[in-house]
Structure 1
């Protein structure tokens, strides 16, 4: 479902140029959840933003379901992969009611007003349909992130991109949001890429994980590796040891 070849991302020019992603390649099968784990600044979120079409600085090749996509994308190409961001406070317009937030992707893609799909979208993430009349500040962080998940699924994308979807939430609600994501993934047969620095989240959600350091992948871990704490590179071992502290 996802194929990435020699992806490179750099910012700045001349002496100010910074290579953030340095020629990474990977593939994700239909229905698979791939994790990308690494410390802050390693380039993992930049990979995700390139897949989503939010970052247009990339070079290399990206294909969805065998269809190459470029830096500039048509509406139907943008609809193939939707993203859930890290911060549920900053990713939702504070002055729009939840109903408008959810209907906006439908309208933006020219698929109608979208109001008829708001109630079912809220219900599928475990929120009452009446929340459509509320403003974001009237919801908790976990509820807001559920709204963000519902919004990402409004266009029924086959690919869901998750950028640290629980790191801004209290520990008490992280598991609830992860369970909602897992249920929706299985129900819709979604292909997912999950970026996180939390190995416990990666182990809970992912079929396998790529370990990223300084713009390149240094290790690949299976689900059994993740659950057993087994690694194949010194840096991966350091991450596992740090997660146990």
Structure 2
């Protein structure tokens, strides 16, 4: 479903050029959840934004569902992936009603008005139809993130890119949102790439994990490795030890 070869991301020019992601390659099979973990600033979110088509500063090769995509994408290519962001407070428009927020992707991609799909989308993420008339400030953080998930699903993508989707939420609602995303993945046969610095989230969701440090992958861990705490690199071991403290 995802095949990335020699992807690098750089910002700035000449002497001020900074390479954030350094020549990384990986693949994700259909229906798998790949986790990418590492400390803040290591390049995780930049990599995700490159896959989503939100950042065009990359070089290399990216294939999504067998389709090679470039830095500028067609409307059809953009339909392959959707992204759920870290901050449910900042990722949805504060002055739009939830109905407009959910219908916007349909209208933006010229696939209809989207109004008829608002209520089914809300119900799929566990929210009732009356949420359609509310504003974001009338919702809790967990409810806002459910709206963000519903919005990402409106265009029926094959791939969801999750950028720290629960880190801004209270611990009490994190598990609810993670379980919701797991159920949706199974129902729709989706492929996930989940970026996080939280090992408990990664262990709960992922079939495989890549450990990132300074823009490169230093370890590749299976689900069994996660369960047993087995690592193949000193940095991975430090991450595991810190998560247990």
CA drift at 1:5: 0.4
- How many angstroms apart in 2 are the aligned matches of 1:177 and 1:84? 12
Instruction: Please give the secondary structure, in 1, of the residue aligned with 2:172.
Output: helix
TM-score by length of 2: 0.99
Partner-residue secondary structure (3-state), 2:6: strand
Counterpart for residue 197 of structure 1 = 197
Matched, 1:26 2:12: no
Q: Quick one: distance in 1 between partners of 2:227 and 2:101?
A: 37
Deviation at 1:138, TM superposition (A): 0.2
Q: Deviation string for 1:170-214 (max 9, x for gaps)?
A: 000000000000000000000010000001100100000000000
What is the CA–CA distance in structure 2 between the aligned matches of 1:6 and 1:227, rounded to whole Å? Answer: 30
Indicate the residue corresponding to 1:222 in structure 2: 222
- Please state whether the residue corresponding to 1:193 is helix, strand or coil: strand
CA distance in 2, matches of 1:139, 1:76: 33
In structure 2, the residue matched to 1:14 is 14
Give 3-state SS (helix, strand or coil) of 2:61's partner.
Answer: strand
Displacement after TM superposition at 1:164 (Å): 0.2
Match of 2:145 in 1: 145
Q: How many residues align?
A: 245
Shift in Å, 1:228: 1.4
Runs of at least 5 residues in structure 1 that lack an aligned partner in the other structure: none
What secondary structure, in the 3-state scheme, does the structure 1 residue paired with 2:210 have?
Answer: strand
**Separation of aligned partners in 1, 2:228 and 2:137:** 41
Deviations 1:50-81 (A, max 9, x none): 00000000000000111100000111111100
Q: In the alignment, does 2:153 pair up with 1:176? A: no
- Give me the CA root mean square deviation: 0.5
- TM-score, with structure 1 as normaliser: 0.99
Q: In the TM superposition, what whole-angstrom CA distance separates every residue of 1:86-139 from its partner, at most 9, and x where no partner exists?
A: 000000000000000000000000001000000000000001111000000000
Q: State how 1:1-245 maps to structure 2 within 5 Å.
A: 1-245=1-245
In the alignment, the residues of structure 2 paired with residue 169 and residue 104 of structure 1 have an alpha-carbon distance, to the nearest angstrom, of 25
Structure 1 counterpart SS, 2:112: coil
Q: Give the Cα separation in 2 of the matches to 1:121 and 1:129.
A: 9
